[in-house]
Structure 1
Amino acid sequence: MQASDLLQIAKTYGDPVYVYDSEKIISQYQRLTNAFKGVKKLQLNYAAKALSNITILRLMNSLGSGLDTVSIQEVELGLLAGFKPENIIFTPNGVSLEEIEKAAALGVRINIDNLSVLEQFGGKHPDIPVCIRINPHVMAGGNSNISVGHIDSKFGISIHQIPHLLRIVDLTKMNINGIHMHTGSDILDIDVFLYASEILFETAKNFRNLDFIDFGSGFKVPYKDGDIETNIEELGKKLSTKFNTFCKEYGKELTLAFEPGKFLVSESGFFLAKVNVVKQTTSTVFASIDSGFNHLIRPMLYGSSHKIKNISNPKGRERYYSVVGYICETDTFASNRRINEISEGDILCFHNAGAYCFTMASNYNSRFRPPEVLWHNGKAILIRERETFEDLIRNQVDVKELFETKQKVALAK
């Protein structure tokens, strides 16, 4: 996409606005499949939580992707987007037995991450195949909030609880068809990932009827010029070799599964916001935009760094700016960042806005969530409308008669 295309989208659909480039999504999907072409059976299950717009889900389905879901609502979105139930895996954390049973009734694959629900589900539904999420106790990820495989994580069944797990499986006679792990997001060192995979292989040897092994995801993408990223090609070669060796030892050709989210959609996304105010203090120049962490919380929540460009003045002299939002709290997107000279009314473009950006947006400060636009085959297509005041109050119940009565009583006194 060109800056002129983005400016035209901001002019047509207003700002702030999210934009996704379908060509980048497709190329990332192809890159990942090519990296693992050395295995006979590969299944990519797109992590819907990264970007759950139904049009994006339909795009993923058209590429041949499966779908990784973490809530019954994501399961229903996937079915609505055209995914077959058997191509959807339900990988929740800490949900009720009832929610898992609802997903199972819809025909999707089930992934369970705790002993309590595993025992309950196996006791009631021993004939329904189940995948088990293992916690390998391997610390990986770029931030403590997205590192989920360490010893104190709430995710997965500890490898130290394998004997207990095996007793449950033996007593319930349930069918374990998959083993799964997820160590965290923004993985830099593939050797850490490969080390965790060895733990997963060892765990898998305890189950004789597996169909697949799911290695999670968490591959890091570059967030700025010169930034490091997961070497997918090297990981593909090394893990494929290990996986093929394991399949020979296991005596069965298993499916190697992943659940990429950020890797597929992050770099496709752009967030466009207009500069409301340029404010000079004694030591800082603030560029305040018509958005805040209600639309893009990642810098505040994860400390993530998004490249920011002034697409209205790409050749202007570079100056240092702190880019902040309009929320009535400190919401700083960047501190003392070199950006081409900014004037009020300019459009700033945030890169890497495809994953965990709109999906984490809120109505904080009673602000509307922005629209989403897909750039596809050289055309801008609206895939979500901007919210309105009617959307904001749609589910609120205004019980005004309670207070009108009190007011009348007070006046009568």
Structure 2
Amino acid sequence: MQLIDNRYYIQNVDVLSLCEQFGTPLYVYDAEKMQSQVETLQNAFASVKMKIKYACKALNNISVLKLFKHYGTGLDTVSIQEVHLGLKAGFEPQEIIFTPNCVSFEEIQEAVSLGVVINIDNISILEQFGHIYGSSVPCCIRFNPHILAGGNHKISTGHIDSKFGISVLQSRHLLRVIKTYNIRVTGLHMHTGSDIVDADVFLQGANILFDLAPDFPDLEFMDFGSGFKVAYKEGDITTDIEDLGKKLSTAFQKFCRNYGKELELWFEPGKFLVSEAGVLLVKTNVIKTTPATVFVGVNSGLNHLIRPMMYDAYHEIVNVSNPFAPQRVYTVVGYICETDTFGWDRKLNEVRENDILAIKNAGAYGFTMSSQYNARTRPAEVLIFEGEPYLIRKAETLDDILKNQVEINFEQIVQNLQEI
């Protein structure tokens, strides 16, 4: 989103005109930014056989999935429903990796029948997998390296108390299971969570997989997950992708020489690809002054963007209607009947009722974590592609809230009972 003269634009599309055309609240995504993030990764790892598997839990609108297919990525999925979305979007089964946790074995069997890459993070599930499939269906093993990546504890997945992955401390038990059932392991996987800022910490996890690899003679790829940190405000620390690319590529090439085979290097970025590409546009309903605070109340809430309340996540907020007015301090809140805050004590250009505010970094885990709480409907989604806005999801109506509900006629039930 760029300020040109006195108007904000996404690519060459005026933000306020989008609100007039599609209404608010409104999610808007910039395809150009998504493409540039893909290219940043590709360029950083140009010296190795690197494949991107877009983590679609971040933003799973089918048009966005088709866009990443257009950009040449594969797909990372965590539910059988995401697998079906990926297939419907045009991905080939072998381009999709399925990494569930705590699901029934029937869900894994369905994924096997669909032909996607199976990633297993539980020894119990691996035993069931080996009992049924033996060496006939290859799989990947997800390890927990016991490394803290940083960031909010709720998004860190590589520590010893995490439910994700098979502990590296269980590797001997794991190998016995693999040998007993003659399981063919073609990939090793780790994912430490979000907010990786130090390439050397990431390399610690990579070296753990490198040390484990000699016990797996049939490897075709190593999957290092993701967790690349993006900027949420000016001056924010981010993952140095170029530095990581140089260090990890060098280490990976050395590993492949020692292993005796050139493997593929996979990543599963979600937030990195879509976070900065998305904004949530909201309208100011009220300005409410209390003895302690000036609140800006908007026509959205934690039902549309839960990250600030769930993770204490910081999202920059911009007044796109009044960009050159003097700044005042506001707390921006939503319309949900809960403590529902987008930003505390923010310096914003003076906000008036009906002004449009843009909440940035809303591309990842915004709409996909949204709900109909308080019987509020979910907003429309728009994708800006090649300088043109395209509606990729209609705004919900009350009919969408009611469509799967079944009304009971209690009077008729009581009457029927009385007649018996």
Give the aligned partner of residue 118 of structure 1: 126
Give the aligned partner of residue 257 of structure 2: 248
In structure 2, the CA distance between the partners of 1:403 and 1:149, relative to structure 1 (3 Å rule), is: farther
CA distance in structure 2 between the aligned counterparts of 1:84 and 1:408, rounded to whole angstroms: 54
CA distance in structure 1 between the aligned counterparts of 2:199 and 2:415, rounded to whole angstroms: 67
Contact 2:296 2:332 in 1 (8 A): yes
Residue 197, structure 1, aligned to residue 199, structure 2:
no
Residue 57, structure 1, aligned to residue 65, structure 2:
yes
Give the aligned partner of residue 259 of structure 1: 268
1:189 deviation in Å? Answer: 1.9
CA distance in structure 1 between the aligned counterparts of 2:129 and 2:243, rounded to whole angstroms: 39
CA distance in structure 1 between the aligned counterparts of 2:82 and 2:172, rounded to whole angstroms: 33
Contact 2:199 2:247 in 1 (8 A): no
TM-score normalised by the chain length of structure 2? 0.96
The letter for the 2-side match of 1:358 is F
Give the aligned partner of residue 88 of structure 2: 80
TM alignment of 1:7-406, pairs within 5 A: 7-39=16-48, 41-126=49-134, 127-400=136-409, 402-406=410-414
Contact 1:19 1:271 in 2 (8 A): yes
TM-score normalised by the chain length of structure 1? 0.97
Equivalent position SS for 2:215: coil
CA distance in structure 1 between the aligned counterparts of 2:411 and 2:174, rounded to whole angstroms: 56
Query: How many equivalent residue pairs?
Result: 409
Contact 1:141 1:218 in 2 (8 A): no
Equivalent position SS for 2:275: helix
CA distance in structure 1 between the aligned counterparts of 2:196 and 2:373, rounded to whole angstroms: 31
Runs of 5+ consecutive residues of structure 2 not aligned to the other structure: 3-7
Contact 2:284 2:357 in 1 (8 A): yes
CA distance in structure 1 between the aligned counterparts of 2:78 and 2:243, rounded to whole angstroms: 29
CA distance in structure 1 between the aligned counterparts of 2:156 and 2:292, rounded to whole angstroms: 36
The letter for the 2-side match of 1:34 is N
Equivalent position SS for 1:49: coil
The letter for the 1-side match of 2:175 is L
Equivalent position SS for 1:57: helix
Q: Deviations over 1:179-207 (max 9, x none)?
A: 00000111122221111111111112210
Q: Deviations over 1:162-187 (max 9, x none)?
A: 01100110010011000000001111
Q: Deviations over 1:339-360 (max 9, x none)?
A: 0000000000011110011100
CA distance in structure 1 between the aligned counterparts of 2:153 and 2:67, rounded to whole angstroms: 32
Q: Deviations over 1:28-78 (max 9, x none)?
A: 000011011121x11110001000000000010011100000000000000
CA distance in structure 1 between the aligned counterparts of 2:365 and 2:57, rounded to whole angstroms: 7
1:405 deviation in Å? Answer: 3.9
1:101 deviation in Å? Answer: 0.6
The letter for the 2-side match of 1:63 is Y
The letter for the 2-side match of 1:215 is F
Contact 2:146 2:167 in 1 (8 A): yes
1:141 deviation in Å? Answer: 3.0
Equivalent position SS for 1:320: strand
Cα root mean square deviation, aligned: 1.3
Equivalent position SS for 1:398: coil
Equivalent position SS for 1:188: coil
Deviates more, 1:198-207 or 1:153-162: 198-207
Contact 1:35 1:237 in 2 (8 A): yes
CA distance in structure 2 between the aligned counterparts of 1:251 and 1:169, rounded to whole angstroms: 22
